[in-house]
Structure 1
Amino acid sequence: MIKFIKVVFTAAVLVPFISITDGHAAETKAANEPKVVRIATVAYNVNGKTRYLGSTELVTETGLDAELAKRGVKVEWVPAAHAMVGPIVNEAFANKTIDFAAYGDLPPIILNGSKPRVQLVAPWGRSGNSYLVVPANSTAKTIADLKGKRIALHRGRPWEIAFANLVQKNGFKLTDFKIVNVNPQVGSAALASGSVDAFYSLSDAYNLVDKGVGKIIWSTKTAPPDWKLMGGLWARNDFVQQYPELTQAIVTSFIKANHWAAQDANKETYLKNYASLVQPESVVRRDYEDDVVSWRDRWSPLYDQALVDHYKRATSYARESGLIRKDIDINQLLNSAFVDKALKELNLETFWAPSRIAAKQ
């Protein structure tokens, strides 16, 4: 009988790996595993076909479905619209209708704000830049020039952390600006119409530049690596505790996908076939160009100092800004055990170098 397993990104609780060497014990263990694993991820409708964000689609090509099929488990992908990823995934985790989820950093922190629910079991790397855009005719050159001005920013989304870093580094507070809380689509339109003085978002900033209605005055390309948008595969704590071997199989497939994408020989294929699903290829390429982080390290799944510092800052910011009411134990949020074992099994322990936090200031 085919079994299905639910897969969803959740907060991390450190658990020991269970090694089963007895064949009968392994069969018994598999028999007790769920029949379906549900994994939530950002999805798009491209020419009538559902496509998933970035490297998530690669996982099916690196053996996840086949590996779980051996255990009698089936993967069910749960699509989440880009405009409302955080709320959709958080609600699904809270209701236990998903087991894993691939999404950014701030939403799962908010989810864990009341109690530990999910953990990061496989980081996707430092793959996301964010941009501060002003109207094409604006005289603003820095964040300081926007004090007291209207800035479109979708609160609670991963890129809010980078914006907060920029604001704090320059000696300001969010209250020094008139934050207009709208999603990226509305924010982009607001900038184009002159309804706001600036817009903070992702690579869609280049679309505004191409249309001649906006110009980029700052981005995380020259910021420290820990300012990048970070996230990855999050798993429900109770799922990880109950099914550590199944969690390991899923994480290992994600690490295989990271490894494939990180190789220079596969860069062009990734850019053309996976990264350019929604944005024009020219936009995608510019988002990856002239970055302080190398192509290989953009896919690093390591729980290195850059990642730890990023989540320390993110959890502190969430608490200070009122997004959560309690402090979060970083040790419950980040679980490196599964990645460590996957890297060892795949002989990739030295493929990625730990990130040193250094960049142009």
Structure 2
Amino acid sequence: MTLRSLLHSLIATLGVLAATSVLAAAPAVVRIGVATQGYGDPPVFGGSPAATAQLQHLTEDALKPDGVKVEWIFFKGAGPAVNEALANRQIDFAYQGDLPAVLGRANGLKTKLLLESGVRTGVYLAVPPDSDIKSVKDLKGKRVAIFRGTNLQLVVDNVLKANGLSERDLRVINLDDAASQAALASKGVDAVFLDFKLFKLQRQGLAKIIYASRDGGLQYTRQAHLLVLDDFEHDHPDIVQKVVTSVVQASQWSSDEANRGALFTLWAKSGVPVESWQSEYANQTLKDRTSPLIDPFIVARYQAVADDALRLNLIRQPVSVNGWFEPKYLDQALKTLKLENYWPRFDPSGKPLAS
């Protein structure tokens, strides 16, 4: 065998080994962390296109032809617990809110934001039915439950600021969703900042909602998204594309007003009644709330969250969102599904952009 033939044979062998190595490296399971406590067995959640994708098994169906299974992992500790799992490489993707993701980025987590999933979501302030608390301003010195470290906290801090208060003016008790509801129902706290779960307590006569942050403007809303670890995105772009496309499909179905009733019935499997979803989405279009788009409003909101987190000493150094969003998978999904112009886009202030 000549030296040239030997080299060609060696190169061919190395090529086969490299291809085999790539195939062997393909994951058997894709792990998606969810920043909420699941409900049921197996656990599910509601309130976002990502939840729709899970409930309709769209992501599983997208990856099944490749022999890749999907594992949804729920975290009672919400965003902070998801960040810990990302740092320990225990999950590949994460569904979480804006503030926890900013905190993770500030602490060196290498991730890419792929699409939005549940946007322009407000928070509510609820008190016991017989409480004399009438407004946010009345919270001074009161025992108030807030789930710190979640995307709810920053909205609350900004609401307090707008009313001349800060967390230091309150007797803040850090409680998760379930504990907050129990404390409010038993009058263990004077007030709770929480989400749509409060509607059920109100219907049961155990709470009274006295404030909705969305009424103050879109700057008092929170955003949620799907992100992926940098390393996973680099190694498995084909899988990332299929996951993103499946969630965009879920976004389209969730955005169709003809599906409003079916959507809320589907999400009710999460333990949140249909009536609560009806109240949460009253007088709002589904497209505005279930859009996956990364538009100027979203980019501006994430940067505002990062800036506010620094101002409130939740992080120690500035965080820039430049280079954090990776829209190519979303763009491809929109093109494939012919949805480029399906959802409205908003400017940084939240006003609709011209088509």
In structure 2, runs of 5+ residues without a counterpart are: 1-17
In structure 1, runs of 5+ residues without a counterpart are: 1-24
Aligned partners of 2:237, 2:350: CA distance in 1, in Å? 36
Please report how far the alpha carbon of residue 196 of structure 1 lies from its aligned counterpart in structure 2 after TM superposition: 2.4
Q: Which of 248, 252, 258 is residue 259 of structure 1 equivalent to? A: 252
Give the structure-1-normalised TM-score.
0.82
1:289 aligns with 2:282: yes
- The one-letter code matched in structure 2 to 1:181 is N
Aligned partners of 1:97, 1:328: CA distance in 2, in Å? 24
1:235 aligns with 2:228: yes
Please report how far the alpha carbon of residue 200 of structure 1 lies from its aligned counterpart in structure 2 after TM superposition: 0.4
- 8 A contact 2:80–2:149 mirrored in 1: no
Q: How does 1:24-103 map to 2 (within 5 A)?
A: 33-41=26-34, 42=36, 44-46=38-40, 48-54=41-47, 55-59=49-53, 61=56, 63-70=58-65, 72-81=66-75, 83-103=76-96
Once the two structures are superposed, what CA deviation does each residue of 1:194-245 show, in whole Å capped at 9, x if it has no partner?
A: 3322110111222332232321111134243343231121110121122223
Change (3 A) 1:297 1:215: same
Partner of 1:157: 150
Partner of 1:13: none
The structure whose Rg is larger is 2
- 8 A contact 2:124–2:195 mirrored in 1: yes
Once the two structures are superposed, what CA deviation does each residue of 1:301-332 show, in whole Å capped at 9, x if it has no partner?
A: 11123212221221122223333222222124
Aligned partners of 1:50, 1:208: CA distance in 2, in Å? 22
Change (3 A) 1:65 1:134: closer
Please report how far the alpha carbon of residue 127 of structure 1 lies from its aligned counterpart in structure 2 after TM superposition: 6.0
Please report how far the alpha carbon of residue 274 of structure 1 lies from its aligned counterpart in structure 2 after TM superposition: 2.3
More helix by share: 2
Once the two structures are superposed, what CA deviation does each residue of 1:86-107 show, in whole Å capped at 9, x if it has no partner?
A: 2332222111121101122222
- 8 A contact 2:159–2:213 mirrored in 1: no
1:135 aligns with 2:125: no
Please report how far the alpha carbon of residue 77 of structure 1 lies from its aligned counterpart in structure 2 after TM superposition: 1.4
Q: Which has the higher contact order (CA 8 A, sep 6+)?
A: 1
Change (3 A) 1:193 1:31: closer
Partner of 1:8: none
- 8 A contact 2:45–2:269 mirrored in 1: no
Equivalenced residues, count: 330
- The one-letter code matched in structure 1 to 2:143 is R
- 8 A contact 1:226–1:306 mirrored in 2: no
Partner of 2:161: 168
- The one-letter code matched in structure 2 to 1:172 is L
1:306 aligns with 2:297: yes
Query: Cα RMSD (Å) of the superposition?
Result: 2.6
- The one-letter code matched in structure 2 to 1:246 is I
1:323 aligns with 2:314: yes
